Amino acid sequence: MNILLTGGTGYIGSHTAVALAQAGHQIVLLDNYSNSRPGAGDRLAKILGQSVPQVECDVRNTTRLTQTLRQHAIEAVIHFAGLKAVGASMARSLDYYANNVQGAISLLQAMQASGVKTLVFSSSATVYGDPQYLPIDEQHPRSATNPYGRTKLQIEDLLSDVAHADKTWHISCLRYFNPVGAHESGLIGEAPQGIPDNLMPFIAQVASGERPQLNIFGNDYPTPDGTGVRDYIHVMDLAAGHGAALTALNAGTWEPNSSGTTIHTAWLQKLTFC
Ligand SMILES: NC(=O)c1ccc[n+]([C@@H]2O[C@H](COP(=O)([O-])OP(=O)(O)OC[C@H]3O[C@@H](n4cnc5c(N)ncnc54)[C@H](O)[C@@H]3O)[C@@H](O)[C@H]2O)c1
Looking from the CA of residue 99, the nearest atom of ligand 1 is 31
Nearest atom within ligand 1 for CA of residue 126: 6
Express each pLDDT in 9-58 by its tens digit: 999 999 999 999 999 999 999 999 999 999 999 999 999 999 999 999 99
- Asked if residue 208 is part of any domain, the answer here is no
pLDDT in the model for residue 196: 84
The residue segments making up the domain with residue 17 are: 2-180+232-269
**CA 22 → CA 4, 48, 181, 243, distances in Å?**
15, 7, 19, 11
The 10 Å Cβ neighbour count of residue 167 is 10
Number of structural domains (the chain) is 1
Residue 206 lies in a domain: no
Mutate to test the pocket of ligand 1, among 35, 59, 174 (most ligand atoms within 8 A of CB): 35
Using CA atoms, how far apart are residues 254 and 274, in angstroms rounded to an integer?
Answer: 11
Query: pLDDT tens for residues 216-232?
Result: 888 998 889 998 888 88
Task: Assess if residue 245 is contained within a domain.
Answer: yes
Give the tens place of pLDDT for each residue, 160-189. 999 999 989 999 999 988 899 999 999 998
Residue 203 falls inside a structural domain: no
